[in-house]
Chain A
Amino acid sequence: MRSIILRSCDGADHVVAQEAACLSKTVQSLLEELEESTLVVPLPNVCDCTLRKVLQYCTQHTALQRRVTDISDELRTREMEAWDKRYIMVSTDELYHLVMAAHYLNVPGLLELCCEGIANLIRGKSPEHVRQCFGLVKNFEAPEEENIRRTNLWALVDEKEQAKK
């Protein structure tokens, strides 16, 4: 099996099986464009730490996909889902870097997983809680906020009830 080297923006090299690296469509395209003898692929938009995490995903998913003979599809899917669930339990900051890398490297499965992870941080939360979680600032002017409140008041009902309880 051929191995290649992926070089992060801070110059760290990661040796990885080409099969796993090619879960990234960006890497796959770069390999097609570069000369066949090239073994080092520079990735100027991904830092060492994030690249390591991305490659962990690619390696694990390639390994699980290759286990075609010894486990059923259903079991493999369950295993992957359980692994993904553990994998995506990272800090908000890390999740942000991971989603940016997944987008740049074009790893569809990882991108979807990251989006789901971010969506889970938002789901069921109050606007204030979301602002705190993502470090956002409320930048409405009073009439603008009043207009939003009038339109979306129903969405806050449950939150009020929960507060009462």
Chain B
Amino acid sequence: MNFADILPEDVTAMIFDRLPFDDRARGCFVNRTWNRLNRDQILGPALELHPKQVVNRSFLDWARGRLRNVQELELLPFKSNSTDIVTQRCFSSSLCELLQQTQHLQRLRVPPAQSLDAALLSRLPQSLCEVSISITFDDSCLLDSDFDVGTLVPFSFPRYMPHLQTLELQVTCVNVRSYGLVCAPSCLPPSLRTLSLSTKSRGRRVGPSLMLPCPSQLPNLRDLRLEATCFICQDRGTSMSAFLTSMQHLRGVRLRSNAKAVNYGKMLEELSHVPICKWEPL
């Protein structure tokens, strides 16, 4: 019996609707009827992809024109191996290609274990509301960049991201040889309500510092989480206390830093206008 031929079309559609996109794509190989019913599938609003799919040229070609309804994109983690850097770069550029084809993407989630090329940040779709992303900055990135090695690691966002409300960004610096590294996220959109920035290092004893965003850039910020060896204000003179005091709408602050740098715990205790304050040593 041929289910797809005998069953009413609406029942067949109900069956295929329950299947993930890769099963439906495989269904095209079954016979003509299954091919007819599955070849034009459009990807649904929530899409979960394995990195291997993202870097597959055949998949990218197939996905072209099928991503217009995708609203949530989640990447699954994959294990590191000797070709990690090559894979990351390839993954980042392929992901960029995918992202450029989405029209209504609202949520992007890349697991912390899966790092991306920092350049991807400036090419995120403007429709995004929530971004959870992890980027790795390594020697090979530095060689490609125009910035002075080891002084400033800027992460620029698109200047116009009117809907972005939640940003969770984890920056990992790998094998960077210089000291005094400063991560500086710039062009954060004013719509942000929740901001979580963390910086880590692998292969170095001293982790990077984090340059705080300009308070005037974040008029709607309610929840702030920062993690770094220490924090540096944009004018290099303003204190963390002054930075937090200037953001009157904050409802929660969580800081993790090197206990030897500055006693942020005591500083937070004195913040009267923020209901939830917490400090933890790194």
Interface of A with B (CB < 8 Å)?
A: 93, 96, 99-100, 103, 111-112, 115-116, 118-119, 122-127, 130-131, 134-140, 144-145, 148-149, 151-159
Contacts and interface: CB of A to CB of B under 8 A. Distances in A.
B136 to A, nearest CB: 26
Contacts of B11: 99, 103, 111, 115
Nearest to A119: B18
Chain B facing A: main interface SS: helix
Nearest to B18: A119
Contacts of A119: 15-16, 18-19
Chain A facing B: main interface SS: helix
The 10 lowest CB-CB distance pairs between A and B, nearest first, are A127-B29, A155-B25, A154-B59, A119-B18, A154-B58, A153-B58, A115-B14, A152-B25, A154-B56, A155-B26
A139 B53 CA distance: 28
Interface size class of B (residues with CB under 8 A): 20 to 34
Nearest to A117: B15
B56 A130 contact: no
Interface in B1-49: 1-3, 6-8, 11, 14-16, 18-20, 22-23, 25-32, 34-35, 39
A131 B2 CA distance: 9
B25 to A, nearest CB: 4
30 contacts: A96-B1, A96-B3, A111-B11, A115-B14, A115-B15, A115-B18, A118-B3, A118-B15, A119-B16, A119-B19, A122-B23, A122-B27, A123-B20, A127-B27, A127-B29, A131-B31, A134-B1, A134-B3, A136-B30, A138-B30, A148-B35, A148-B39, A151-B61, A152-B29, A152-B58, A153-B58, A154-B25, A154-B56, A155-B22, A157-B52
Nearest to B59: A154
B78 interface: no
With a 10 A CB-CB cut-off, give which of A111, A118, A124 has the most chain B CB atoms: A118
A116 B18 contact: yes
Given A115-B15, A137-B31, A152 B26 contact: yes
Contacts of A131: 30-31
A115 B7 CA distance: 11
B179 interface: no
B62 interface: yes
With a 10 A CB-CB cut-off, give which of A96, A116, A154 has the most chain B CB atoms: A154
Given A135-B1, A140-B32, 12 more contacts: A96-B6, A111-B14, A118-B3, A127-B29, A130-B26, A134-B1, A138-B30, A151-B39, A152-B26, A152-B29, A152-B62, A155-B28
A127 B26 contact: yes
B31 A138 contact: yes
A116 to B, nearest CB: 6
Given A115-B11, A138-B31, A153-B58, A123 B53 contact: no
Contacts of B14: 111-112, 115
A149 B35 CA distance: 11
Contacts of B23: 122-125
Contacts of B8: 103
A118 B27 CA distance: 13
A151 B7 contact: no
Contact of A154 (B3, B18, B53): B53
A147 B26 CA distance: 13
B19 A134 contact: no
B31 A152 contact: no
A134 B59 contact: no
Given A111-B11, A140-B32, A134 B27 contact: no
